[in-house]
Structure 1
């Protein structure tokens, strides 16, 4: 049989094992896996490198259409950063674009804004906000992979603003009932809005302005309480649940207990909670501000234990960029979001696999197959015959220091600037086409597609 591409001699991460073998591609799909494959128009020698499924990043914020946020991060730069970082599929949040993605019309506005700009594939979440419960079905009919809501304060409560807004408990309950009827998953940002807001106001009135002051206004119990509340209401309504960017082992433990009790729930965390601790946040400053916040070293160590034990299903970037001016004016005024999309594979391979001995199969599950499975992306997330030929080839033990010039983001800054990272993406392949190569950059752009389920 003739093939379009064969990747040879790499350590290939399959479903239940990692071994040195070859992978062949035909018409954008994986056609064969085995040693000694031949007969391809093109070959890539991956000797000494890791061949992993392309990352499926289940938490990415892009801002096309942008409105007053047009300068934050569009599809063009955001998906180029994904390609450079080894991510082949992004699951996009329904905010911070303007208008927020809350019904059929706004979803189509988003699709139009991304037309001809995608360097990787993009699946979409719809939003659950106070004023769209009667329109949630529209998004399901258009093929969104799930929904997102906030229990912490966000956006604007004005339905005419076009912005996103958090829900109260009644709106959450009614939304969960509708999503259970639709059979869709709800992703939740879980922090107690009132307590976090008032602790923040108290800190500002007291003149506090350090990174540690900010962390103290969003204590672990505010995350745990919101997770428990979400789990209880999901159990009452039968709604499938996914807890976003959990930052504490105590919150993960709540998910583990609910799952063991038979509840349909998963959770994710983010690379910055594992790579940066509170003391480093203090040094980096507002570039590392996010919510829930980066916590102390003891919290981080115990979170690592949860990850290595398999209690955290997905690793995401929670890429939430902004313009540089929005990171100024003090820690409490600064935008809470980290630009991280380009660095997830490098950092987690270094920190989890190289430094802590995570098995390669587990690495591929948390980065690729688990999020693909959870969000119904049936052709993504695995190196197996019949799946999309999406790969990231990783060069291990290959140190580099990240600089702003390396970044593909529209606004070239990140909390990871200056970090010595011990592995790097060598090649990214989307449906059999090389879209990034180390030393050559991103090419074959705009091969990405919007995905529906």
Structure 2
């Protein structure tokens, strides 16, 4: 049998399981066979993967496409993602009228994206909750996000006036009725923040550590308890997105119970590699804030133990001109989608000896399982032929101008990571070839419609 593509003689990383030397055959955009070492088959193209990892393509569970240059973000940010071994991403879609706006936004992605993509609905009003069941079926969206940081005055300043505990609980009730539904929550008690923020501003503080001090980790943890407790009472699985504080993870460990709804945990690469003491200034402003090194180390132990299920980038493609002039007025968030694999390989595999198959699970099969993504996240016959090929002996040096992103800066700029992504393959099409975006037209990204 002739195949379209063979990834030959590599170290195949089966996420969450093991590594095995062999080859992967691809036909019609799907994985056709896993071949033992030395097995040979015909193919239109063969990529020699000797001494390289063959990983499932990264699925970034946490991105914000459309927050930079909305007209072009699908193209620029997914091309940037592909250079980092990303073949799929989940992006938050927030709009007053989800019913009217979601279809055109999906169509824009299908016309421009160079990776596959799915959506989470941002729930900010009672209307969204009331419509969730119908919208979930129509658009194949099984996941939503509630923004507890937009309660009260903080939300009103952004035009959100209905975010409160009642909205949270009703969203959990609605999510429990969606097949495969999961409610993600941004946990941060903004009502207490002024108690810390006002004295810091009065003292003239304008450093990155002040952003952590105005919203300390326990304000996240307090919200985590509320979300988990409400989730139990509503019978709904929850996902604590972008967890930043190890105290929050300790609480989740205590609250988990086999007979209760699941409490899933996601963290992001910046909480695993950057701290409040980095010399980034306003560039490092993000919500929740960057924390001390002790939180970084504690979250890594959560990854090692499997207590953290997924890892994302929280990629926001804005310009550096929005990151100032001081920590208080700078926008929150920064780009990072191309650094997911480099950070995990450097900080997790090399520095902490966490097995690559454990790390791979957090950005592939665990994401696919949590969000009901069909045919994604595993290396097995019948699955989509999505791969990231990595040379562990190579290196990745980060420079903002090395990517087509709308963003013109990176909090990771100047860093060099061990490991280099040499190829990214989307449903059998090589979109990154020897480290460069393929000059051939990429296979168009597809919308990942979910119907568990």
Q: TM-score, normalised by structure 1?
A: 0.92
Residue in structure 1 matched with residue 32 of structure 2 by the alignment: 31
- CA drift of 1:426 comes to 0.7
Deviations 1:139-158 (A, max 9, x none): 21121131111111288649
Shift of 1:288: 1.8
d(CA) in 2 for partners of 1:165, 1:13: 47
Q: Residue 280 of structure 2 aligns to a residue in which SS?
A: helix
SS in 1 for 2:265: strand
Alignment correspondent of 1:203: 200
Aligned pair partner of 1:174 in 170, 174, 184:
170
Q: Deviations over 1:44-89 (max 9, x none)?
A: 10111111000111001011xx6xx536971011111111111111
Q: How many residues align?
A: 440
Distance 1:415 1:446 in 2: 30
Given candidates 179, 185, 188, the residue that maps to 1:191 is 188
Q: Taking structure 1 as reference, are residues 3 and 277 closer, same or farther at Cα in structure 2, changes over 3 Å only?
A: same
Q: What corresponds to 1:275 in structure 2?
A: 273
**Given the alignment, which residue of 231, 234, 238 partners 2:235?**
238
Query: Offset of 1:164 from its aligned partner?
Result: 6.4
CA offset at residue 255 of structure 1?
A: 2.2
Distance 1:72 1:202 in 2: 41
Please give the alpha-carbon distance, in whole angstroms, between the structure 2 residues aligned to 1:265 and 1:166.
25
User: For 2:246 and 2:323, how far apart are their aligned partners in 1?
Assistant: 28
Aligned position for 2:252? 255
CA change 1:411–1:396 in 2 (3 A) is: same
Deviation of 1:165 after TM superposition, in Å, equals 6.9
Q: Does 1:413 align with 2:409?
A: yes
TM-score (norm 2): 0.92
Q: 1:304 to 1:323 in 2, by over 3 A?
A: same
**What secondary structure sits across from 2:126 in the alignment?**
coil
- Tell me, what secondary structure is at the counterpart of 1:387? coil
C-alpha contact (below 8 Å) 2:155/2:163 kept by paired residues: no
Structure 1 counterpart SS, 2:25: strand
> What is the CA deviation profile of residues 111-136 of structure 1, one whole-angstrom value per residue up to 9, with x for unaligned ones?
23324101000011112112322111
Equivalent residues of 2:208, 2:280 under 8 A apart: no
> Structure 1: which 5+ residue stretches go unaligned?
none
Q: Aligned residue for 1:46?
A: 49
Deviations 1:333-391 (A, max 9, x none): 11110200011111111211122211122121111110110000120000011100000
Give 1:336's aligned residue: 332
Structure 2 match to 1:425: 421
Aligned mates of 1:151, 1:429 — CA distance in 2: 37
In structure 2, relative to structure 1, the CA distance for the partners of 1:60 and 1:255 (3 Å cut) is same
CA pair 170-202 structure 1, distance change in 2 beyond 3 A: farther
